[in-house]
Structure 1
């Protein structure tokens, strides 16, 4: 992988002059710890940094950088047993009142006038109300190195199980040099929230070994049916223990306050914030293991 600068848009245009990319990128990375308006003056105008972040979130620049880092770090390298495994989990983040100002309306009804937090009835901005109040949910796919591979967002009250298949279908890790991107891991691990027939059949059809824990109530129900309940599904405890890497990856992401608490109104900008936090995680992993970039 070359320099990150090669993946950034050209600076300057016939109509004006852009601020230096290095200063703006450093400002975006620093901003993951604070709100936009609290950005220190050494990074220039916070409006400039925000506008650059918004533009690159919309055109996929952050996603392209993240994809290049994943390829350069060899994120599909096999484990000690020769397999490539991914782990899935979700986490809820509280939405700040600054993120609740997007006008939304229910089908057939005009936008609501007046103050108060507005929730998009169709979930287009990944904002919803749950027991924790106004929240968003992050669905994450991570490797065994505690590094993020795929992240999707949804309203906080949505379930985890329906997002398993979209996460697996969004997995697309590029390789350095020739070869098609890798889209099919050898193993996929998930907790009891992902136990469903669809989530067990889908990996089997693609030749992926799924290690998903069965809920206690369903296990007890099968045993209560006796011989009619059939044999218990195969489950590897040693493999399942490695699923903790995705929980640790969530901990790394939430070290960035702008991820732990959502300040962005628009979902695509919040996804850009998630991508920048993931970029920082991958950069730290590359620094820790410089041999991966060889």
Structure 2
């Protein structure tokens, strides 16, 4: 009996030791989680503080230069008379043409891959390539656009060549956004449509796409807000740094706000740097407005899905 009692005594100690080790492990994991949490918060605040510093510095330099004459005047060799009319008009042309080209192609491709494509090596290869294209440097698209649209198709240095090039740049983003938006549509909506006798295309056209329109528009606007700040592809295409006229058609030569900013910042006169700061504010406002619209559409779309 004594031997049996002696063998049973260490068991509670072992359980207490295990519980102590688990408690130490839990406290350590909690400490690690809290450390990463506060590091993430600190990194976020550092980024926001740096961004706020740059925006405030640019606003101080350029906000006084923005007026109606600055927005409606042509570029000039005299900084006091220079304006951004051709630049923002060219940006508006580029945005409109890029949206017209990329939106139907991106949505159609997204619908095909999500609703019609079957499991095959070819489709899998296409999906992988589309995902990889989103990470290709933008200047590569500029080289491709110069050869295909500028030379082979004869668009030259026109707005149309720049729009097709930027459409290629943002097409993968629109395709991915379309697929994700369609995935988020409840399957019960499709089943109800099929139950009423609708065909697959009728279901997609009248039920799936309207329900997914908020997500699709959100992805499209975010991709266009990226395109409005792109400079490298347009430089390769042949966008001009100095354009003393407003484009009147898709085959005209053009400049855009990033190109105009680059042109002014490369000049030594301080007055041109003030113009560049003012143009940056205008470009930031366009980007913030587009992102705000995208956020509003996303929130409204999520509420409709719920």
Structure 1 length-normalised TM: 0.24
Q: Which structure is larger by alpha-carbon Rg, 1 or 2?
A: 2
TM-score (norm 2): 0.23
* Greater helix share, structure number: 2
